[in-house]
Amino acid sequence: MNIALLSLEQTPPLSVPLRFFLTAPLFGLLASLLLLYDGPHLLMNRWYPSTLALTHLITLGFITMVMFGAMLQLLPVLAGSPVPRPIFVSSTLHILLTLGTLSLASGFITGWAWMMVSALILLGLSFFGFIGIVAYCLVNVKGRSPTMTGMRFALGALVINAMLGIILGMLFVGVVLPLPMVLTNLHLTWGLIGWIGLLIISIAYQVVPMFQITPQYPSYLTPWLVPLVFFILFLWTPLDILVHLNQLPATVSQLLIGFIGLGLSIFALVTLNLQAHRLRSIPDVTLNYWRVGMIGLLFSIILWGVGVFWSDLAMKPFYPVLLGVIFIVGFVLPVIQGMLYKIVPFLVWLHLQNQQLEITKVISMVKIPNMKQVIPDKFARRQFWVYIMALGLTISAVLWPAGLSDVAGIVLACSFLFLGYNLYKGLWLYRSVSWQIAAAKGKKSDF
């Protein structure tokens, strides 16, 4: 084992993850405004350009945005594998992802080819830059925890997903909608289940027991779940293409996705069970968010299963939209928001504490706010309830677009605004305390 490679210090500068975390709610807000502006059409058909724009504002602008920041933060800390030149890397990736997502959304709405081309270039650069950096770090990791293994597979899924996305984007520039159905299905499955789903599972192995002091995930589950889902996806990909070419019965593809659904349900149920056996008894917003997320995941799997056996329902245009909404808004968003409420206050505290360590005189010590002073529980809890309303309304709006899409858009916008407010308030507090510490250090020389 090479000890030189192991540096346990490694927390990257605060701006590295925070720039991603603080941009994400803005994209959520933008997506909600689009829903408000183009509501009824948007929720009725998955091929409608605004629907594609909205989906990518959420999946790239919110979800992937946070995941980029989280990976750049977690890799050094959990794996002892520092990201080289962290500020340069994170700011470049952040700008590319932000501009790329904005041009992609505008490209979908306007249909302008040059907009789409620039989106493809920007997003391509940001994804492959990110993949390259993370792959480099993961190679240096010596530990073989299920989390690290899982991250490797999630990253593999991101490679496949990004390539499919780029191919689809190029087709979009040349061809009119609807895009080749089979490729979009592959793209969204690799994106939602492969990249996002597998990454959430891998990170859950580490953070669910940590934050609630629950028992560990069972060791008969963790080593194989993520690799298995990945390999089933891999096997499913060519078979699904054959199904679409009418070379194979649809049952083959459905059966494989069914196995993945089973794997994900096991994950959700085990997580809920672990949380039920937690040692900590205090109420916690992150816990609420994770529970909602796990239930959302189970619901989306059940809905998919119902669609398999009830083909009339599956043929309805709203069905795929509903499935997507429950998976994204009901599973991924809550899990991510729950994580943000732990990571952001902790990082603010940690960085302030580290600055404080440089002050040697006790007399000039500044009081460092604890995590619950950085983001008060009361505010986080209220934001949670606004989000729950937004979730309920968005799901209802898919079923009754004409009447509810406006309200859903407004409440969703409120939930992202509130989230943003909580996070930015944490940043302001950081700034002011950090300034006090700097002032205290200045004073030190006077003594």
Partner 1 sequence: MKHYTLARKLYKYYLKKIVFFAHTIDNLFMETITQTLTNEHSHCDQLFAQAEEKVVKKQWELATTGFTNFRAAMEQHFTKEEQVLFPSFEERTGQTAGPTAVMRMEHQQMRQVFDEMQKALTEQDSEEYLGFSETLLVLMQQHNVKEQQMLYPMTDQVLSQEVASILNQMDQVGKNV
Q: CA-CA distance, 422 to 380, in Å (whole number)?
A: 7
CB-based contacts of 378-382 (< 8 A; 24+ apart in sequence): 379/418, 379/421, 379/422, 379/425, 380/285, 380/341, 380/422, 381/285, 382/418
Tell me which amino acid residue 367 is.
Answer: K
367: CB partners within 8 A, 6+ apart: none
Residue 245 binds partner 1 (CB under 8 A) = no
Contact pick of 87, 135, 210, 402 for partner 1 (by CB under 8 A): 210
Q: Verify binding: residue 361, partner 1, rule CB under 8 A.
A: no
Q: Does 78 bind partner 1 (CB under 8 A)?
A: yes
**Residue number with CB closer to partner 1 (138 or 350):** 350
Separation between Cα atoms, residue 223 and residue 205, nearest integer Å: 10
**According to CB under 8 A, which one of 127, 130, 153, 211 is a site residue for partner 1?**
211
Considering only 142, 316, 361, 443, the residue that binds partner 1 (CB under 8 A) is: 142
Least separation in angstroms between residue 346's CB and partner 1 is: 5
**Is 213 an interacting residue with respect to partner 1 (CB under 8 A)?**
yes
Smallest distance from partner 1 to CB 376, Å: 9
Q: How many whole angstroms separate alpha carbon 178 and alpha carbon 189?
A: 18
Q: Contact between 342 and partner 1 (CB under 8 A)?
A: yes
Nearer to partner 1, 7 or 251 (CB): 7
Q: Which stretch binds partner 1 (CB under 8 A): 43-51, 113-121, 247-255, 371-379?
A: 371-379
Closest distance between partner 1 and the C-beta of residue 213, in Å? 5
3-state secondary structure 208-244: HHHHHCCCCCCCCCHHHHHHHHHHHHHHHHHHHHHHH
Among 139, 219, 245, 281, binds partner 1 (CB under 8 A): 281
Stretch that binds partner 1, among 95-103, 151-159, 224-232, 349-357 (CB under 8 A): 349-357
Taking the least distance from each CB to partner 1, the nearer of 329 and 374 is 374
1 contacts partner 1 (rule: CB under 8 A): yes
- Per-residue three-class SS string for 311-328: HHHHHCCHHHHHHHHHHH
**Nearest alpha carbon to residue 101 among 182, 165, 171, 194:** 165
In whole angstroms, give the CA distance from residue 102 to residue 62: 12
**Any contact of residue 80 with partner 1 (CB under 8 A)?**
yes
Closest approach, Cβ 344 to partner 1, in A, equals 11
Please pick, from the candidates 127, 195, 236, 349, the single residue that binds partner 1 as defined by CB under 8 A: 349
Least distance from partner 1 to the Cβ atom of residue 374, Å: 9
Torsional class of 274: left (φ above 0), alpha (ψ -120 to 50), beta (otherwise): alpha
d(CA 45, CA 56): 15
Show the CA angle centred on residue 249, arms to residues 243 and 251, nearest 5°.
100
Q: Compute how many residues bind partner 1; rule: CB under 8 A.
A: 31
Q: What are phi and psi of 68, to 5 degrees?
A: -60, -50
Q: Which of 277, 353, 385, 443 binds partner 1 (CB under 8 A)?
A: 353
Q: Which of 80/338 has CB closer to partner 1?
A: 80
Q: Where do contacts with partner 1 occur on this chain (CB under 8 A)? A: 1, 3, 6-9, 77-78, 80, 142-143, 145, 206, 210-211, 213, 279-282, 342, 345-346, 349-350, 353, 357, 370-373
